[in-house]
Amino acid sequence: MDKKIITALFISTMILTSCGEDSTQQVSQEEQAQDDLLNEMAEEGEDKEPEAFYLPSALQIGSIFQKSGLSYIERLTNSPSNQEQYITKSQKILNFGVYSADLAYIILNGQSQDATAYLKTIKSLSDKIGFGAVFESEELLNRFQNSLGNEDSILNVMIDIQMQTDMFVDENNLQEVTHIIFAGAWIEGMYLGVKASNSNNQHMISGRLVEQMTVLDNLVKALRSNNNQTEDIEQLTKDLNKLDKFFIRLEENKNSQKIASFKDYKISKEHLEELSIMIIELRNRITKV
């Protein structure tokens, strides 16, 4: 931008010089050049605006897995006591996403006794990552407390929290942060899917796991679009890209069998194992204290 301004000022000087010569035709040419330059500057400014990437909510991902028979396993989620030990901003943002996915898992499985601790953890982290305004409403927290035990009501509160978060992100141009939050939530959702699948639900769950590749593709693009990359987020993006490549192999395998929908695709035991290892490694790196 600075270079452009200097060039524009240079052109301005040229125009001033030409004024002295009283050459109308030359002024006109210089003005045209300046006009083109200013348009170019405006266009470059526009390009810096955040691109829109569609990423579903952690609640919807949890809901999709739950409907496929994902069972509840105690102590699989990240313990709320770990949150105090996340020091860097990236750790806090990623684990905000992790705890959001955990809260969805807990609520969708009717484990309301744990829900308050997770919401408090999310609220605490939200203050530290600049999202405090979303959770400052007493009314929202009271509605959450009063709805515990009533699945429909609590889901409505969760949807409202999601909507308020989206509006807050949009109004404050925090899309880059929300991409990282979603990365944490997505990895945790996949982790829960991998760990809580068993011989009874494995076919359904594995179809759902593979289906997530379309979301991953958008997630990788979203993370790459972030202007302010920290070293750990850059590494995370690389790891997710590696996972995306693995998914592309699975899709090619599905297409070669002329299977149209992920619903009918049966992932091999070896592939499921490979996927599980990658997901567990990624998740443990994010949540480790």
Partner 1 sequence: MRILLSIVVLLASSYLHAQQTPTSYCPKGDVIIKCRKALVPFKYTNMITNRIVFKRFNHIKEISIPIYYDARYRFTFNTELVPKDIKIRIYDKSQTEKKREQLAEFESSQKQFNFEPDPESGLSEVYVNFLIPAYIDEDGSSFIKGCIILMTGYEDEVSDAFGDAEGAAAE
Report 15-34 residues binding partner 1 (CB under 8 A): 15-16, 19, 27, 34
Quick count: other Cβ atoms within 10 Å of Cβ 191? 25
Report 81-110 residues binding partner 1 (CB under 8 A): none
Query: Which member of 17, 28, 29, 39 binds partner 1 (CB under 8 A)?
Result: 39
What CA–CA distances, in Å, run from 186 to 2, 59, 95, 215?
39, 10, 11, 9
Q: Are 94 and 125 in contact (CB under 8 A)?
A: no
Secondary structure of the chain: what % helix, strand, coil (to 5)? 80, 0, 20
Specify the residue, 44 or 84, whose C-beta has the smaller distance to partner 1. 44
Position 133 contacts partner 1 (CB under 8 A): no
Position 12 contacts partner 1 (CB under 8 A): yes
Specify the residue, 225 or 235, whose C-beta has the smaller distance to partner 1. 225
Q: Are 110 and 151 in contact (CB under 8 A)?
A: yes
The stretch among 215-223, 226-234, 241-249, 266-274 that binds partner 1 (CB under 8 A) is: 215-223
Specify the residue, 56 or 232, whose C-beta has the smaller distance to partner 1. 56
Q: Are 132 and 126 in contact (CB under 8 A)?
A: yes
Which residues, 6 or more positions from 244, have their beta carbon under 8 angstroms from its beta carbon? 213, 216, 217, 220
Query: Which member of 218, 229, 241, 253 binds partner 1 (CB under 8 A)?
Result: 218
Specify the residue, 121 or 154, whose C-beta has the smaller distance to partner 1. 154
What CA–CA distances, in Å, run from 155 to 59, 97, 117, 244?
9, 18, 17, 31
The backbone torsions φ and ψ at residue 201, rounded to the nearest 5 degrees and listed phi first, read: -110, 5
> How many Cα atoms occupy the beta-carbon half-sphere of 47 within 13 Å?
7
Specify the residue, 117 or 204, whose C-beta has the smaller distance to partner 1. 204
Site string for partner 1, 173-212 (x = CB under 8 A): x----------------------------------x--x-
Q: What is the DSSP letter of 149?
A: T
Specify the residue, 121 or 208, whose C-beta has the smaller distance to partner 1. 208
Specify the residue, 56 or 132, whose C-beta has the smaller distance to partner 1. 56
The stretch among 61-69, 130-138, 193-201, 230-238 that binds partner 1 (CB under 8 A) is: 61-69
Closest Cα partner for 15 from 34, 43, 1, 2?
A: 34
Q: Tokens 């404050």 label which residue?
A: 172
Least Å distance between CB 88 and partner 1? 28
Position 5 contacts partner 1 (CB under 8 A): yes
Quick count: other Cβ atoms within 10 Å of Cβ 84? 10
Quick count: other Cβ atoms within 10 Å of Cβ 33? 15
Position 252 contacts partner 1 (CB under 8 A): no
Query: Which member of 171, 199, 228, 270 binds partner 1 (CB under 8 A)?
Result: 171
In angstroms, the CA 87 to CA 77 distance is 20
Least Å distance between CB 144 and partner 1? 17
Where does this chain bind partner 1 (CB under 8 A)? 5, 8-9, 12, 15-16, 19, 27, 34-35, 38-39, 41-46, 48-50, 52-57, 59-60, 63-64, 67, 155, 159, 162-163, 166-167, 170-171, 173, 208, 211, 214-215, 217-218, 260-263
